[in-house]
Amino acid sequence: MAETRIAGMNAESGRWLYVAIGLLMNLCLGAVYAFSVFRLPLESTWGISATQSGLPFMVFLAMFALFMALAGGLVGRWGARKTALLGGVLVGAGWILSGFATNIALLTVFYGGIAGAGVGIIYGCPIAVSAKWFPDKKGIAVGLTVMGFGLSALIMVPLMTRMINNPAVGALGTFKYLGIAFLAVLVLLSLPLRMPAADWRPRGWTGGGAGGDAAGVDIDRKQMVRTSTFYALWGTYAIGCLAGLMAIGIAKPFGEEILRAAGYGDVRMQSLLTTMVALFAVFNGVGRPLFGWLTDKLNPRRTAVLSFVLILVASALLYLLGNASPVLYFIAFAVLYLNLGGWLAIAPTATATLFGTTHYGKNYGLVFTSYGVGAIAGMLLSGVIKDATGAYLPVFLPVMALAAFGAIVAWLGLKPVRAASR
């Protein structure tokens, strides 16, 4: 049998190109995390409320999760290239059309609906490709692939801010220009995507999967939902995302509470918070390859428990001592961001490890719906508690309880499928 080659290199070396392609694609897709920079300009331009300006972001996340589930089977039927091309075209079109929106309702349809659906369709494609080409290193390959999604805000926030502040461009012009760029980049990067042959294996690799958990297990979505392992993974993923996305939502206003209580003036406080939030994005990005590597080394169950312990400790420190220490605030929120990034690697790696890669697109599409549930629940929880108590600090009480519950569920439920089904 002829040796498999990628871009003229042997497959063991050339397969890393797919990780690089996936990382670059995710830098474009993760621009949603920078949406907050549009909110004040839109509120000023259209005279809308803060609640209204957040609608496109919420709808985007909901459509993202929904279309991950609905389109999960497309990779199996069409292949990664065609599926990614469809998603990339929708992402670009959604951003470009957003530039022509005349009110928040149209922006919600164009940005939240069309672009959000496009991201849901394309997001799983580079992940599935990486998981297929790296059966021996699923965690680190998937983690590096999705790292771009977490790091995107670090690049996009200053770029978008500069474009929005340019009178010749403005907020709506920024949507148009970035949409054209995203369309071109995503279409070009989609073209090289392909899966390995069914019988391809890395040279010298004899099987065993990440952590050796589920060697030989390869089940479809119908079989997956009959296992208790699936529900444990879905629930723990939702809790991990709830804590992390809630932290993203309140990082800046909660930081203002902390720094103001510590006596910082407005100018110094805003400068410091801007730096902190940028660094949080780095932790979000780094958490993905780090926890992907840990999932390879420890297995999904131990890595999930470790993540929940870190979330519990960070939340407890914030609740008990956070008001007194800006340094502690930074450390604790860095841990929360790290773990949000971590769960975006733990869950896809666990899906491939526990249920196999043959039906990965459909399987992870269903697992990913927990991300949408966690995102919406996290935003609603923090808002309700803030409105009821007048402060963000009490938010961390339910987060501590959920982290403890998540650790128990992970330890008892994230078992190899054969053991769970016996």
Q: Over the stretch 108-161, which tens digit does the pLDDT of each residue have?
A: 999 999 999 999 999 999 999 999 999 888 899 999 999 999 889 889 988 998
Single-letter amino acid code for the residue at 417: V
- pLDDT tens across 13-26, in order? 899 999 999 999 99
Query: How many CB atoms are located within 10 Å of the residue 145 CB?
Result: 30
**pLDDT of 212 higher than 90:** no
Classify burial at 313, counting beta carbons within 10 Å of its beta carbon; exposed 0-12, middle 13-18, buried 19 or more. Answer: middle
Residue 37 pLDDT: 86
Domain 210-421, CATH class in plain words? mainly alpha
**pLDDT of 422 higher than 50:** no
If pLDDT is split at 50, 70 and 90, which confidence band does 273 have?
confident
**pLDDT of 361 higher than 60:** yes
d(CA 410, CA 405): 9
If pLDDT is split at 50, 70 and 90, which confidence band does 365 have?
confident
Residue 318 pLDDT: 86
If pLDDT is split at 50, 70 and 90, which confidence band does 34 have?
confident
**pLDDT of 272 higher than 90:** no
Lowest mean pLDDT across 36-50, 185-199, 244-258: 244-258
**pLDDT of 210 higher than 70:** no
Higher-pLDDT residue of 381, 338 = 338
d(CA 9, CA 22): 18
Sign of the torsion formed by the C-alpha atoms of 178, 181, 187 and 193: negative
Does residue 335 contact residue 290 with C-beta atoms inside 8 Å?
A: no
Predicted TM-score (pTM) of this structure:
0.83
Work out the mean pLDDT of the chain and round it to a whole number.
Answer: 88
CATH assignment, 10-190: 1.20.1250.20
Decide if 10-190 and 210-421 have a common fold.
Answer: yes
Single-letter amino acid code for the residue at 9: M
Higher-pLDDT residue of 269, 230 = 230
The domains of the chain are located at: 10-190, 210-421
Residue 251 pLDDT: 77
pLDDT above 70 coverage of the chain, percent: 95
Single-letter amino acid code for the residue at 41: P
Does residue 200 contact residue 4 with C-beta atoms inside 8 Å?
A: yes
Residue 216 pLDDT: 62
Residue 350: name the closest of 214, 151, 253, 258 by CA. 214
5 bridge partner residues? 10
- pLDDT tens across 287-331, in order? 999 999 999 899 999 999 999 999 999 999 888 876 668 888 899
How are the residues of the chain apportioned to helix, strand and coil, as percentages rounded to the nearest 5?
A: 80, 0, 20
Does residue 57 contact residue 35 with C-beta atoms inside 8 Å?
A: yes
Residue 323 pLDDT: 66
Element (H, E) at 137: none
Residue 160 pLDDT: 92
Number of H helices, E strands in the chain: 20, 2
271 bridge partner residues? none
Residue 213 pLDDT: 40
